[in-house]
Structure formats: C-alpha cells, structure tokens
Amino acid sequence: MRGRAAPTFLDELRTNRIFYEMTTAAVPAVSTEPDIHERLNSIWETPKTLWGWFATVDHKQVGIRYLATAFLFLLIGGVEALLLRIQLAAPDQGVLSPEAYNQIFSLHGITMIFWYAAPILSGFGNYLVPLMLGARDMAFPRLNAFSYWVFLFSGLFLYGSLFLLQAPHAGWFAYVPLTNNRFSPGFNMDFFALSLILFTISQTAGAINFIVTILRLRAPGMALHRMPLFMYSTGTTAVLSLLSMPALLVACIFLELDRQWGTHFFDVARGGDTLLWQQAFWFFGHPWVYIIFLPATGMISMLLPVFARRPIVGYTYVAVATMLTGLVGMGVWVHHMFAVGMGQMAMSFFSAASMTISVFSAVQVFAWIGTLWSGRPVLKTPLLFALGFIASFAIGGLNGVVTAVVPFDWQVHDTYFVVSHLHYVLIGANVFPVFAGFYYWLPKMTGRMLGERLGAWSFWLMFIGFNVAFFPMQMLGLLGMRRRVYTYEAGSGWTGLNQLATAGAFLLAVGILLSIINLFQSRRRGEPAGPDPWRADSLEWSTGSPPEHYAFAHIPTVASRHPLWDDHDEEADPRGERALDQGRLTLATSWLDGRPAAYSRMPEDTATPFVLALLLSSFCIALLLKSLWMAGALLLGSLATLAIWLWPKMEKAREKIGEVVVDGLRLGWDERRGTGGMVLLIVSEALLFVVLFFAYYYLGAGAPRWPLDEPPKLPLALTMLAVLLASSAVLHWGERGLRHGRRGRARGAVLAAILLGADFLVLQALEYRDHLKSLLPTSDAYGSIFYTITSFHAAHLVFGVLALVFVLLLPRLEPLERPPHRPLHNAALYWHFVDFVWIFIVGLLYVAPHLKGKG
C-alpha cells in the first residue's frame, strides 16, 4: 500500500508548478556518486562469458543484436535483388532459371518485408525506448530476449530451405491455390508457413513488451503529452502488431493444415475458399505496411527537430496523426483485393479509408517541413537521409493514393507500377529513416562518430540509385510489364528502362556499401562522440556513449517535452532516492501523468529465453518432418522450460527490499506489470479467435448450405458451457475469499476449477468420439473449421489448467499467501477468457445452425 510522507508528489499540484521542479537541493546526499556507479554496475552488468552471451537480457544488447541481425537480412535480401536485376537487365536472359527466379524473388520479398523491415525498427525500439523513457530496461527483459532469439531462429529456419534448394517460391504473400500441395508439392511453402508462425510469436512478444514499457516505465513527470514522439509511433506499431499478427498466424496454420494434414480451408471442391487466404493475409498485411514505417516516422520526428534546432511543429497533430494512421491502417486491407471481383459498395469503404489515410501521413510531412522551414537547419548526414525520406515518401504516398482509386488499381494491378510504389514506400519510408537513425544514434551505441563526408557520399549514391532503380518501374508498369516475370522478349520495348533500373540498383548497393565502410572506419578511428554530440533534447542523450549498463545512475525526472533543452536537472536527486540501487530496479509510473506508482524489479540474466526459443524452433522442424512424437516431446520440453522461466525466484528479493521511498512517496513492488502483459496476451488471443470465427462465417457465406454436414449436438455443448461457467464462478469465488484471507477456500476453488476444466476436456473427447463417426477434419471445409476452432479452444483450456496447477505448486503456495495474489489473479484472468470464448463458440457453431434449420 502506498503511504505518503511530506512533501508528497501531489503537493506539487498546490503550487501549480510543473512536476519536479525540485527545491530540495539543501538535503544532504546519502551516498557518493562513485559508490552508486560501482554498485549499479555490479548489479546490472552481464558477465562477459559464453553463458553471459546467451543469457543476457539487457535491452541494449538485445537491441544491438536485433539491429545487426536485421541489417544482415537487408544485405542478404539486397544481394537477392541484385540477382533479380541482373536477370532482367536484358531480354531473354538465362542467368536464373524460372524456378530459381521464383525462389529468389520470393525470398527477397519475404526477407525484406518480414526479417528486415520490422525487426530493424524493433532493434531501434529495444535500444532506445527504455533510454528515452528514463527506464533501466524493458518491462519484460526475458520476454525481450526471447523475442529476439525466436526472430533469429525463424530467419535461420527460413534460410534452411535454401540448403534443400526448396525455398519459398510463391511470392511474399503466397496466394493459394498456387501454394497448395497440388501446385507446390515440395517443402517450399512449409518453410514459409512455419517460419512465419515462429515470427508471429516473436512479434507478439515484442509488441506486448513495448506497450507495457511505454505505459508503465516512463520517467516521473513524463505525462502522455510529454512523451517523445517515437513512443507514439512505436506504441501504435505495437498495438497494430498485437491486433494483426493473429490473422497471419491463423492464415499460416490453415495453409500448413491444408498442406500437411489434409484439411480443406482453401479447397474449393470441398467447400473451402481461396479468397479466405487473401482476406486473412491482407488483414495482417496492410497494417504491416504501417508497422514497418510508423516507427521510422517516429525516428524522423525525433531527429529532424534536433537538426532544425527547434521543437517539432504541431507535436499534438503529429501524435494524433500517428495513432490515426494505425487505426485507419487496420481498415484498408481490402484495397489489396480490388481485383478479385467484389461489389462496388463493399469496396467503397476501403477505397475511402485508403484515401483518408494519406491525410494523416500528409499531416506528418507538413509538420516536418514546417519544422525545417521555421528552424535553423544544420545539414548533417542524418538530416540528409531524413530529407531523402520525405521526398521518397511523398512520391510513394502519392502513387499510393492513385492506386486507392479502384479503376486505376485494376489497370496497374500486378504490374511494375505496384512494385515501384511499394519500393518507394518501403525504401523511402524505412531504409532512409533507418540510415538516418544509424547516423544519428550509432554514436550513442558505439561511442564514436561516423564520418560525415563518407556519409554524404553514401546518401547521394543511395538516393540517386534508388530513384534511378525504381522510377522507371512506374513507366514499365504503365507499359504493361507484369511483376514476377523472369524474362521478357526483345521487342517488348522494356529493355532500356530495365537496364536503367538495374544500373540504379547497383548504385544503391554501392551507397549502402559506403555506409558499411563508414561504420568500420568509425569503430577504428572515429571521433569520440561524448554523451550528446548533436545537442539533442531527449533523455537517451543524458547517458554516456555507449550508455552504462544501468543507463541512469538516478532515474531521471521530466518537466517538459525536451528534457535536455530546458533548465530542469533530470538527474538531480539530492537524497539519492532515485538511485534505486537495492537490486535491478527501475521506477513504474502511472500511464497518464507519469506519477511514481511502484518500483519494478527486473530479472537476472537467464538462458531460459534462449532454450525456449530453441525448443519452439525445433518443434517447427518436427512439424515440417511430420514427426509427431518429436513434436510432442519438444512441446513438453517447451512447457517445462516455461515453468522454470515463470517460477518466482524474486520473492526473496521482494522481502528484502520491501518498500522504497522516492520523492516522498512510499512505493511497493510493481504488481500491475505482469497483469498488463497478461491482458495484452488475452487481447492477442481474442483476436486469434475472432479471425477463426470470421473464417467460419466467411466459409459459410460462400457455401450453398451451412453447415455442410449435420450440425453438432446442442445438449452436450450446453452441458460443457455449464461446466466452464461453473469453473469460472468457483474460481472467482475463491479469489474473493482470498481477499478476506480465506486461503483454504482459494486452494479448494483452484482445485475445483482444475477438475471442472478436466471434466470439460473429457466431455469434448466424448463429443469428438461421437462426431468423428460422421465428420472428420479432412471431410470438408466445415469439418476443418469445426475441429480447428474447438481444438484450439481445448488447447487453450489445457494451457489454462496447467497455469492453475502451476499456481498451486508454487513454493509454499506463495501467491495464495500474499496479497494481491497476482499469479493467481493472472491465471484466473486467462481462465475466464478461455471460458468466455466458449460462449461464442457455442453460439456460432452449435446454436446458430439449429436456429437456421428451424427458420
């Protein structure tokens, strides 16, 4: 419980002063600075050993690994692009066979879209978000390390396909039926689907981490209206990831089930629908475009004002435009499907939304231009790349607006015009900002400046090369050249423009190469950067370059949007209260005002994220090989590793630390962080079920009658519903009892919920036994979707049972002993969610068909 000692934080309100204009300089410091640095270093430093390398959970290490790995994928994808351009440099070339060309262009697209464009921004986010917020790490450091390892292994898994010469070969959006067994019998598309399933796990984990970090770990005083704009873009992106990833996950699971296990989601002859893939993929796919450029716009909004030497124009407008871009970006997916033959009324909303979204992008562009216009710009390399971004993004945005017009879209659909558009957007709005970010923040990460001269050369070569490569493609598209053709005839009239594009691609590559040389030169003989070489305004520049392991000796306080430009001393902490040197601690604050709310204990280094990621990746290999015993063993291993991960080792530390006093507030252990993570996980899982329900509806809408077979029996489903509702009620009753100290009741309730859950699973097994006599998952599309939805739910329930068993087994029933019993509360939240989903399943799969029958 929070108690208050004078002077309290809220007392500041009385004087109407801005937060944290500290007036306590006369209070003597409790310990000397060298002591604090030494102590914090010993607490936060990861041992420089092999174990330390695998076990580190330091966000700076994880961020740099993300950056390095994603950049490597950029180079690999770039080499693939050059191979494609060599093939297309002249008509009737035979450098690549048609199949090799298919695999290379598919790998190029998949690598750039998934394994470079978003992860590189995750790298910046991982490194910068805690530093900009004034925190010492991300909200869930182990989850952070886990998301990196899964990302790495998913990429290795994808490229493993090359060793078998069976890389994905159906483009990055892998339309069915081209990707079903009949037209793609090898492992190619299995590698695609399974690696993306792993990738979605990584992205979802990262998204949860970013959201909780931004809402919970901001420096005291950093209210929503003082957050760096990078937080708005990264936060919006994280929300988009959380909401859109389930659609990709479901699409890939359907594809893999169809390919490997004989279901019929996309098999038209058995009631499936090929457009279901497109709906699910693009529901994910278009938000993904914003996921891979919004953080980049946030980076520009951070660095451009620094070089314009003034605060950004229209902070609130830019923040709102960023959020609205994300929101409207969720409602434009159908514009990728204008050519599939929908009615114009159905398309009109998506056309309007697609055009609306350009308004929000324009707001940001005008804010950047206004900032430059009214500032005193200093033309350093990061600003050059930022300007290149604005120019390219404007062109990409404008030719995006015209493709939102349905008739025009039909004309240029699947031509090089679209290739040009997407590269203008993706290179313009991702690669240029990323390079701007490298030149701007690498001095912070490495402690050394990059060369300005080489940087300028790199920029101009990249900018000119990029335009020479991709502008001619607009004309090629208008001249009728289809995308993905592996060659063309000499008389087509496309040769000159293709040669120009190839020359541009090589120029672009040389520009990138110069920046790599610049990086290596800087590492060897770059000028020392110092803490703030650009005289920037955000908190990361108040740390050393590179930052110390603990980042901030004292958790900073913030009194404006530009902490380093105002005259407030962020780290002034005369009583030493914000040093938080009793362990790996950082401060948790309220989401709206940034008031100190609790202290967060960060976990020690551990190799469990690495092991879990390895086991899950191996699980995918087992699925690829259709080895069920191996998959089962690896799944059990994963669950055991997860239990080790979640086992509460920090209870002793919590007892030892007790309460801490910060700025007159007595702060307790941060209990809400875990609950926040659980709520977000539930949101993601809920979306997964929404997509499954949508698939059920969508397949039914296209069928002459639905269900295709006998509807399932209602009485058993209602009995199962009663069992689940009873389990939820009893768990809730136990939790309430615990609040009044009735531990026996709580234990009994958890046990009863477990038994009721097991009872439900037995009933479901009985239902399956009965139902399987007439309907198999492989019978038709209805059987496929029925068993998929119900078995997904059963799997969630099994996980819920395991979570409750875990809670019961915790040492000395710790969570049942100590208020507010968060592990039990979190497990109960998940349980209620799973029960709640069953209500919808009963309504949709069991009740509705009977009502329809009567009607």
Partner 1 sequence: MNDPGSVRARLGTLASPRRLAFAVIAPPLAWAAQGLLGWYFAARACRTGGPGWGPLSSGGVRLLLLTVSVAAFAVTVAALAAARRDMRRLAQKTPGTPLGESAGYLATVGVLIGTALAIGIFWAGLPALLVDVCGEMR
User: Would you count residue 349 as binding partner 1 (CB under 8 A)?
Assistant: yes
Q: Which residue of 356, 446, 521, 582 would you call a contact of partner 1, by CB under 8 A?
A: 356
Please give the C-alpha separations between residue 848 and each of 711, 712, 764, in angstroms, as whole numbers.
Answer: 9, 11, 19
Minimum CB distance to partner 1, residue 780 (Å): 20
Distances (CA, A) of 98 to 139, 485, 698: 48, 9, 35
Print the binding letters for residues 513-532 with partner 1: x by CB under 8 A, - otherwise. --------------------
Choices 15-23, 191-199, 305-313, 368-376; region in contact with partner 1 by CB under 8 A: 15-23
Q: Which stretch binds partner 1 (CB under 8 A): 167-175, 257-265, 346-354, 426-434?
A: 346-354
* Given 165, 592, 718, 722, the residue binding partner 1 (CB under 8 A): 592
Please identify which residue in 324, 402, 761, 798 interacts with partner 1, judged by CB under 8 A: 324
Of the residues 593, 759, 767, 817, which one makes contact with partner 1 according to CB under 8 A: 593
Ordered DSSP codes for 560-619: SS-TTTSS--TT--TT-GGG-TTTTEEEEE-TTT--EEEEEEPPPP-SHHHHHHHHHHHH
Choose which of 96, 152, 292, 353 interacts with partner 1 (CB under 8 A).
353
Cβ atoms 289, 425 nearer than 8 A = yes
- Binders of partner 1 among residues 692 to 751 (CB under 8 A) are 701
Closest residue by Cα to residue 229 from 138, 144, 309, 317: 317
Q: In angstroms, what is the minimal distance from the CB of 559 to partner 1?
A: 10
Kindly tell me which of 225 and 713 has the beta carbon lying closer to partner 1.
225
d(CA 547, CA 289): 32
Nearer to partner 1, 408 or 460 (CB): 408
- Cβ proximity to partner 1: between 2 and 225 the closer is 225
Residue 567 token pair: 């005259």
Closest to 536 in 3D by CA, of 301, 372, 213, 369: 301
12 near partner 1, judged by CB under 8 A: yes
Region of 118-126, 193-201, 348-356, 435-443 interacting with partner 1 (CB under 8 A): 348-356
Q: Kindly tell me which of 49 and 344 has the beta carbon lying closer to partner 1.
A: 344
Q: Is 261 helix (H, G, I), strand (E, B) or coil?
A: helix
Considering the complex, state which of residue 352 and residue 752 has its C-beta at the smaller distance from partner 1.
Answer: 352
CA 693 to CA 630: how far, in whole Å?
Answer: 31
341 contributes a contact to partner 1 by CB under 8 A: yes
Judged by CB under 8 A, the residue of 25, 50, 269, 346 near partner 1 is: 346
DSSP H helical segments within 272-343, as ranges?
Answer: 274-291, 294-308, 315-329
Q: Does 359 bind partner 1 (CB under 8 A)?
A: yes
Count of residues that interact with partner 1, criterion CB under 8 A: 45
User: Which residue, 83 or 327, is less far from partner 1 as judged by CB?
Assistant: 327
List 369, 401, 406, 646, residue binding partner 1 (CB under 8 A)? 406
Between CA 42 and CA 49, with CA 43 as vertex, the angle to 5 degrees is 70
Question: How far apart (Å, rounded) are the C-alpha atoms in residues 208 and 841?
Answer: 26
Q: Are 30 and 576 in contact (CB under 8 A)?
A: yes
Assess 853 for contact with partner 1 (CB under 8 A): no
Least Å distance, CB 592 to partner 1, is 5
Region of 79-87, 338-346, 756-764, 806-814 interacting with partner 1 (CB under 8 A): 338-346
Question: Is residue 798 part of the contact set for partner 1 (CB under 8 A)?
Answer: no
CB of 315 to partner 1, least distance (A): 10
User: What CA–CA distance (Å, rounded) separates 535 from 586?
Assistant: 26
Quote the tokens at residue 712: 């399932």
Of these, 327, 454, 726, 802, which contacts partner 1 (CB under 8 A)?
Answer: 327
Closest approach of Cβ 578 to partner 1, in Å? 18
Stretch of residues binding partner 1 (CB under 8 A), selected from 262-270, 316-324, 647-655, 818-826: 316-324
Q: Tell me the closest approach of the beta carbon of residue 693 to partner 1, in angstroms.
A: 13
- Give me the 243-282 binding string for partner 1, x by CB under 8 A, dash otherwise: ----------------------------------------
* Distance (Å, whole) CA 573 – CA 29: 8
Residue 402 tokens read as: 């015209």
Nearest-angstrom CA–CA distance, 644 and 603:
13
* 10 lies in the binding site for partner 1 (CB under 8 A): yes
Q: How far is the CB of 20 from partner 1 (least distance, A)?
A: 10
Contacting partner 1 within 187-246 (CB under 8 A): 223-225
- Amino acid 169 reads H
* Nearest distance from C-beta of residue 240 to partner 1, angstroms: 13
- In degrees and rounded to multiples of 5, residue 599 shows phi and psi of -110, 145
Q: Residue type at 528? A: P
Preceding omega of 546 cis (within 30 degrees of 0) = yes
State yes or no: residue 148 binds partner 1 (CB under 8 A).
no
* Of the candidates 86, 106, 104, the residue with the CA atom closest to the CA atom of residue 95: 86
Beta strands in 649-799 (DSSP E): 660-662, 665-667
Residue with Cβ nearer partner 1 (559 or 613): 559
Tokens of 671: 């209990």
Cβ closest to partner 1, residue 269 vs residue 346: 346
Nearest to 650 by CA among 585, 720, 587, 581: 585
Nearest residue (CB) to partner 1, 593 versus 604: 593
Interaction between residue 131 and partner 1 (CB under 8 A): no
Answer for which of 2, 7, 11, 839 binds partner 1 (CB under 8 A) is 11
For the bound state, the minimum distance from the C-beta of residue 351 to partner 1, rounded and expressed in Å, comes to 9
Q: Which residues contact 218 (CB under 8 A, 6 or more apart)?
A: 133, 134, 135, 227, 589, 594
Residue 6 in the binding site for partner 1 (CB under 8 A): no
Q: Which long-range contacts (CB under 8 A, 24 or more apart) does 844-852 make?
A: 844/693, 844/696, 844/697, 845/696, 845/712, 845/717, 845/786, 845/789, 845/790, 846/711, 846/712, 846/713, 846/714, 846/717, 846/718, 847/714, 849/706, 849/707, 849/711, 849/712, 850/711, 850/714, 852/706
Q: Is the dihedral of CA 264, 267, 269, 273 positive or negative?
A: positive
Query: What DSSP designation does 712 have?
Result: P
Query: Based on CB atoms, which residue is closest to partner 1, 18 or 805?
Result: 18
Does 22 help bind partner 1 (rule: CB under 8 A)?
A: no
Contact call for residue 328 and partner 1 (CB under 8 A) = yes
SS (H, E, C) 772-799: CCCCCCCCCHHHHHHHHHHHHHHHHHHH
Stretch that binds partner 1, among 28-36, 337-345, 533-541, 673-681 (CB under 8 A): 337-345
The region of 11-19, 173-181, 510-518, 792-800 touching partner 1 under the rule CB under 8 A is 11-19
Binder to partner 1 among 345, 740, 812, 851 (CB under 8 A)? 345
The correct pick among 34, 94, 407, 491 for binding partner 1 (CB under 8 A) is 407
Q: Does 348 bind partner 1 (CB under 8 A)?
A: yes
Least distance to partner 1 from the beta carbon of 335, Å?
Answer: 12
Task: Enumerate residues 801-840 that contact partner 1 by CB under 8 A.
Answer: none
Q: Which is nearer to partner 1, 18 or 755 (CB)?
A: 18
Tokens of 760: 């439900």
d(CA 204, CA 196): 12
Tokens read off for 802: 């395991």
Residues engaged in binding partner 1 (CB under 8 A): 8, 10-14, 16-19, 223-225, 316-317, 319-320, 323-324, 327-328, 330-331, 334, 341-346, 348-350, 352-353, 355-356, 359-360, 406-407, 410, 592-593, 701
